[in-house]
C-alpha cells in the first residue's frame, strides 16, 4: 500500500444499524484478521467501482460497547493516502442513515491530521511523530494539548521554551536540526471541522 492513513472511527446510532454492522464485522473475522473494505462493500452491495469510492484499505481492530443509547462501535482502519470516509457514508446510507460517524484521520506523509467529531470523542489538540535520539520510536502519538507535546520535547532535549509562544515553539521544534537525519520530533496540530 502507498502512504498509509490510520483512521480511528467512533460510530453511534440505532441499535439495529450498529448491530448489523458489528455482526457483519464479527462474521468477517475482525480482530482475528484484517477485514478488507472492498469485501465489506461487496457484502452490503455497494458498487464502489461505479461510484468511484475508495475501498483501498482494511479494518484491523474493532469493539462494540452496548448501552441504552444503542451503543458505540469503534474501529481502526489503514487505508491508502486518506481515510475511506465516502465508503462509510455510503454504508450509513445502506443502513438507513441511522449512524453518526466521527473519526480522527492521521497520515503524516501527506500531512493529514484531521478530526470530524460528532460526539466529543477526539478532544486531543495534536499528533506527534518522533523517532531516534532520546525520543521513543513512535510513528504517531496524540497529545491532549500542544503545551503537553512541547513539554515532552523540552523534557527530552533540555532546551527551554523561554519567551517563545506555543506557536513559535511548535515552529522551532518542527524546524530543529538534530545530529542525525533519522532523528525527528514533529508536532502536528489537528484540523477540526
Strand ranges in the chain using DSSP code E only, listed in sequence order: 4-13, 35-36, 57-65, 72-80, 99-107, 112-116, 126-131, 138-143, 184-189, 191-192
Residue 101 CB neighbour total at 10 angstroms: 18
Residue 102 is assigned to a structural domain of this protein:
yes
Residues 107 and 187 in one domain: no
Mark which of 71, 92, 116 sits at the end of a domain.
116
Residue 121 is assigned to a structural domain of this protein:
no
**Which pTM value belongs to this model?**
0.93
Residues 105 and 154 in one domain: no
d(C-alpha 128, C-alpha 39), whole Å: 33
CB 13 within 8 A of CB 99: yes
Say which residue the cell 465508503 belongs to: 87
Q: Is the pLDDT of residue 123 over 50?
A: yes
Total structural domains within the chain: 2
Question: Domain of 23?
Answer: 4-116
The DSSP H or E segment spanning 96 is none
Q: pLDDT tens digit string along 33-59?
A: 999 999 999 999 999 999 999 999 999
Residues 86 and 104 in one domain: yes
CATH number at residue 18: 3.30.70
Mark which of 116, 148, 174 sits at the end of a domain.
116
Q: pLDDT tens digit string along 140-190?
A: 899 999 999 999 999 999 999 999 999 999 999 999 999 998 999 999 999
Amino acid at each position: 500500500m502507498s502512504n498509509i492513513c490510520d483512521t480511528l472511527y467512533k460510530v453511534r446510532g440505532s441499535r439495529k444499524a450498529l448491530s448489523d454492522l458489528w455482526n457483519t464485522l464479527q462474521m468477517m473475522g475482525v480482530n482475528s484478521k484484517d477485514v478488507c473494505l472492498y469485501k465489506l462493500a461487496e457484502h452490503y452491495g455497494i458498487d464502489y467501482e461505479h461510484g468511484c469510492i475508495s475501498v483501498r484499505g482494511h479494518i484491523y481492530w474493532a469493539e462494540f460497547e452496548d448501552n441504552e443509547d444503542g451503543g458505540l462501535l469503534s474501529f481502526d482502519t489503514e487505508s491508502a493516502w486518506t481515510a475511506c470516509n465516502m465508503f462509510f457514508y455510503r454504508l450509513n446510507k445502506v443502513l438507513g442513515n441511522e449512524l453518526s460517524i466521527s473519526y480522527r484521520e492521521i497520515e503524516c506523509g501527506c500531512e493529514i491530521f484531521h478530526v470530524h467529531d460528532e460526539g466529543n470523542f477526539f478532544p486531543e489538540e495534536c499528533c506527534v511523530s518522533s523517532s531516534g535520539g532520546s525520543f521513543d520510536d513512535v510513528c504517531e502519538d496524540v497529545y491532549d494539548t500542544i503545551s503537553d507535546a512541547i513539554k515532552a520535547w523540552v523534557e527530552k532535549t533540555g532546551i527551554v521554551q523561554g519567551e517563545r509562544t506555543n506557536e513559535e515553539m511548535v515552529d522551532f521544534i518542527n524546524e530543529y536540526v538534530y545530529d542525525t537525519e533519522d532523528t525527528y520530533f514533529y508536532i502536528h496540530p489537528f484540523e477540526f471541522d
